[in-house]
Structure 1
Amino acid sequence: MRFLRAILLLCLLSIVAWTTIHSVAAQAPTWFKQESGVFTKLMGVHFVDPQNGYIAGSTGTVFATTNGGATWEKVALPVRESKETLRDVWTFNVRQQLVLGEYNRDLHPSSDMIFGPNFMLWRGDEMKEDWREISVAEPRNPRSLKPRRKAPGVDSRSDNEEDDEEFFRISSSMVVRMHFADERNGWLVGESGMIQRTSIGGMGWTMQYAVTRKLLNDVYAVSDKEVWIVGGGGTILRTTDGGQSWVEQNSPTTQNLRAVHFANAENGWAVGPNGLLLKATASQRRPDGTLPVKWDILPAPTKENLNDVFFISPQEGWVAGEHATILHTTDGGRTWADALEDTEVRRYINFNRLFFLNRTLGWAVGTSGAIYKFAPHAPALKPKV
């Protein structure tokens, strides 16, 4: 009798242990694939809440989801834009989105857009039913193709425009990324030092100027006053007055910086080729209220080219890049761990963009229509043979 009770108790404990282990495994967030149904290059992803989000990519691709990515619905753009490359997307709420793209002039040889901007900005309203093209600012034609040199940190505009040349901007410059501090204040950046700002939720834009013609790859708005931009040649720009003046920072690299992200005003990161990783750290605030920030190179977490970085807190963050690279840190970027278990996809997927709502919920998108979600996910149970 005692033996039978012992056997029953052992079985009960085994069931409880298995249930507990399986429950913990089901709750642990992991990266898993979501089906897109396309093989296009996906370049932008943004969610407004755990259920509603958008993805943008090449050949006019815009996807929307209302169930956290379990299914993705293709959104129809106007005919002229249906084959263009869409580089970024921003979601204000479930009813309003911005999509940023570029015009392929070979597709429109007789169009008047040949003489206009080389990029487009569309706003979607009323649950994807209505898309409107947004006017963006045109760069002014310079009086001279040779700009006046400026000291580092000096705004390229002066109080006396008769004595000062505005820095040259090519009118067909491409805009490649955008970021918003809130529902009203946002920035666009791109080729030839292009910077534009909106203070009305993307419905109108104005040019801003910094002394650089470099390609600006990414922008991050810490607030409506403090914004960071990174780009070619190791370019790092900062404004603390909403873009009235842009200060070029001392950069520890001359390599192309592809993305930038700040966890708060004191801690930021930037990434680039061959695992390049930069860390921005603020020192003690000065008497005038300014916060000095110094950039340093951290040990490369990988040899792969890194395309994006996203930090949830000053300690925890992610980087993503070529050959399906997704790395995770919990110590501010000093050490990293490979986070993607699906090694088979390393042959054909390059991740381009990351987005997180919180530390247990995020997405990564890339080439070959790749969409990966980071969330608590129950592993599939293998059938017993």
Structure 2
Amino acid sequence: MLSLADLVGDEFPARRAVFRPGAVPDPGEIASVADIDRVLTGSGLRAPGIRVVKDGSVIPSAHYTSPSTYGYAGLDDVVDPGKVVRLYRKGATLVLGTVNLLLPRLHELCKTVERDVGHPVDANVYVAPPGARAFDVHCDAQDIIVIQAHGAKEWTLFDDIVPNPGGGKLVAPEGDGSTYELRAGDVLHLPRGMPHLVRTAASASVHITISVNTLTWADLLKGFVTDLLRSDEYAAALPMGAGLAERVQPMVRQYADRLAAALTEAATAPAVHEMIYSRPAFGEAHQGGLFSQALLGAPIGPSDRISLRPGTWPLVGEARIKAGDRTFRVPGAVAAACELLMSGPAKVGELAGDPGEAVKIARALVELGLCAPPAPCP
């Protein structure tokens, strides 16, 4: 599996664009045209999973959905492949959002990048016909890594980086910018806030955008402060009487100081870990092979190598492992082995002094879904 360094080299995060021609030798291994066809035509895709855009405008989903039935449930937002393809032929760009959840190899890559950057990562796929322009010049709130998967696409980048771009926005940069033509296998990294315009020329295009959904200090502090403000102290009513604002204003500093002291006390290392990695934005770790392992099983030996699944961020206690919204009560030896694997892959035999015990520990971590089935050592 490709790593972050394979995609962008050593320049991440960069405060300038990084263009790496041919960095991905076979982009079809990540997401092929056949994979995207299956998502569009054979997955029962629903409207939230796709946007259809043309000349800067989003086409309402009613133009490409049809009523459908799943079992006994009537649904009115199921994507109609025929309608989508007709819109594409008329010049519309298809945007498959968070499509890594439907493409296992792309999901594994996102989770591998996520492990390197420490922030949530997901991916969109953009399918554009020749001569298309989906969006006007805009900037994104994320660092993005673009992988050209098929055809070619022209990216015009502007140096007027917008600091702290929030949700991203349309911009009107000065100058002509710098233009890059991406062909299959090329990679382009844009820092968050860099304005850009994307177009196709004579060729149709499929590109993958891996988004690093940057967590901010506001995200972290808001979580702690929200929890603290639920205490009885802050549920007390403001005083009654005339001139309320004038009476309360001198007291604000007092409550703010208490809140700051409580925040400092609450922000222990385990609490910060949980506040960050339990966020829904991180989603589930890469779960490829989980069912096959449960159904078929596979022998595990002391010489096999084992590692945490990409996107697994465990919080380990003496006899507890918490990963996302799941908590497992486990023997202390299993918890200790999980903590060891947080530093990187290891041989199964290194998980315990006794080889038989080490195999039992490895099997437990695999069955919990925290570790992928081990690969034999070379």
Q: Give your verdict on TM over 0.5.
A: no
Query: Larger C-alpha radius of gyration, 1 or 2?
Result: 2
Q: TM-score range by the shorter chain?
A: under 0.3
Counting strand residues as a fraction of each chain, which structure ranks higher?
1
Normalised TM-score (structure 1): 0.25
Counting helix residues as a fraction of each chain, which structure ranks higher?
2
